[in-house]
Structure 1
Amino acid sequence: MSDLTTGEILEVLQRGTVEMEGLLPWSSNYAFLVRVCDGPRELGAVYKPERGERPLWDFAQGTLCLRERAAFLVSEGLGWHVIPPTVLRDAQHGLGSVQLFIDHDPARHYFTIEGDETVRSQLQKIALLDILINNADRKAGHVLIEDAEDPREPARLWGIDHGICFHVDPKLRTVIWEFAGTPLPDDLRRDLAAFKARFADQGDELPRELGRLLSPAELELLGHRLNRLIDRAKFPHPGAGRHYPWPPV
């Protein structure tokens, strides 16, 4: 990741000049690899324009980029920082999400680190975030692995592709079920409780911005899932119906 702070990265992504580099292959919606330049600061990023979103029967057209930004805000509000910095802005193809590009090896993903104790706490955060935002598409390849500069340190994990989250109906589909039925770690439960306090505070910018990105019903169900996680204090087991994404990678 860049040596810039998260705030500085967001500033570059929001106001920098977007230079198109090419279309990313194998994406179900149009996604472009771009460079964002702000004076001497330059970042690689992924631009997903609203105009390039494939129509879905269960998600309103033109909302996927909003959900990408909303998922980032929840990750930041929890203090978990598991989603790369993400903004909403206009670029060559209109309004879209612009997310910091994470340098990674596509051959390494969740299935290559499943059960790895060195990244257990990071995987727990991603799993809990998916439950909270009702992620309908946590493929193994949506967990990126960024090697630490110090080989003695664990790798840094990132979650990407959150365009189909926050639905009002239960749609959790994920490959990360290794924690099902286990208690929530105390520190993560405290993080959830702190987020609940912020979420309920209408003077806080976090719920105000989420309210601009999500529908009232989606916001209400986000609060319901949050309360249920805190009250039950366990990672849930898979529910009825399909609970794995396809393809899984």
Structure 2
Amino acid sequence: MSEDDAPIQLTETEVLAALGAGRIIEQGILPYSSNHSFLVLVSDGDLTLPAVYKPQQGESPLWDFEWGTLCKRETAAFALSAALGWDLVPPTVLRQGTRGLGSVQFYVENDSDQHYFTVQADARFADAFRQLALFDFVINNADRKSGHCLVGADERIWAIDHGICFHADYKLRSVIWEFSDQPIEPDLMADLERVRCQLLDPRDPLTDEIAMLLAPDEILAMRDRLDVLLRAATYPAPSPFRRNYPWPPV
């Protein structure tokens, strides 16, 4: 099976297993990245998958995020997306690689000319962008650029680059604000409530996974943001007192 066949023929569980256990073969460094990011192939038996490997050692120091945690935040974003059932984030694992501990995320084939600003009016993607607006609030995404929304070869939206999320202080910066103050749909409210209950249950596997990736105050803040959404039952709106958009926006 080639990597071109993989997105169609493999289940998420199979992709995660391969990403976690396969041999990492570096293909080259990705240009224009703030942190070291490598395009790799992950080979597991007869299966070879394209992926992006972001080693902890390649993370640039930031004043507001603890060094060495960005790869964990990437992995936590996938875990939360999967728990919500929205599958916005490509399968991602935290593992040892050729350059030490790092996140390894399935590489989504995409058209680089297509991103949020070019497809936001496309009705096919409206539901995904609604989910993404809520998701970014929950994970406190400080950098939702237009180019971090991919249109995959499977004609669906994928969200990438979640290294600076989950801060305990409110830092949401996004290009997706067109749903502000609109009522959240009942099915999405149900998803948010379900995950909130999971995060409150010490026996739930999601609780254990998130606890290994984020600091206790960050987990508490995420639960508080879920409570805010569930109480308001409306999409988040930009604040008049802070910067709400990332720069550059693409």
TM-score tier, shorter chain, comes to: over 0.9
Count residues with an aligned counterpart.
243
* 1:168 aligned partner: 168
Cα deviation, residue 237, structure 1: 1.1
Q: Residue 124 in 1 paired to residue 125 in 2? A: no
Q: Secondary structure at the match of 1:209?
A: helix
Distance across 2 between alignment mates of 1:98 and 1:147:
20
* 1:72 aligned partner: 78
* 1:243 aligned partner: 244
CA 2–19 in structure 1, closer or farther in 2 if over 3 Å, else same: farther
Normalization by structure 1: what TM-score?
Answer: 0.96
Runs of 4+ more than 2 Å apart? none
Q: Cα deviations across residues 53-108 of structure 1 (Å, max 9, x unaligned)? A: 00000000000000000111110111111000000011111000000000001110
Identical-pair percentage: 49
Q: Cα deviations across residues 133-179 of structure 1 (Å, max 9, x unaligned)? A: 0000000000000144xxxxxx2100000000000111000001111
Cα deviation, residue 198, structure 1: 1.1
Q: Secondary structure at the match of 1:98?
A: strand
Q: Residue 29 in 1 paired to residue 38 in 2? A: no
Alignment of 1:2-81 (within 5 A): 2-81=8-87
Q: Any unmatched runs of 5+ in structure 2?
A: 1-6
Query: 2:109·2:153 contact (CA, 8 Å) conserved in 1?
Result: no
Distance across 2 between alignment mates of 1:2 and 1:39:
18
Q: Cα deviations across residues 184-218 of structure 1 (Å, max 9, x unaligned)? A: 01110011011111111111110111011111100
Q: Secondary structure at the match of 2:53?
A: strand
Distance across 1 between alignment mates of 2:190 and 2:66:
33
Q: Residue 145 in 1 paired to residue 151 in 2? A: yes
Q: Residue 197 in 1 paired to residue 203 in 2? A: no
* 1:104 aligned partner: 110
* 1:226 aligned partner: 226
Letter in 2 for 1:71: A
Query: 1:51·1:62 contact (CA, 8 Å) conserved in 2?
Result: yes
**CA RMSD for the aligned pairs?**
0.8
Cα deviation, residue 29, structure 1: 0.4
Q: Secondary structure at the match of 2:48?
A: strand
Letter in 2 for 1:246: W
Cα deviation, residue 127, structure 1: 1.1
Q: Any unmatched runs of 5+ in structure 1?
A: 149-154
Cα deviation, residue 115, structure 1: 2.5
Distance across 2 between alignment mates of 1:97 and 1:112:
29
Q: Secondary structure at the match of 1:213?
A: coil
Query: 1:115·1:178 contact (CA, 8 Å) conserved in 2?
Result: no
Distance across 1 between alignment mates of 2:125 and 2:111:
17
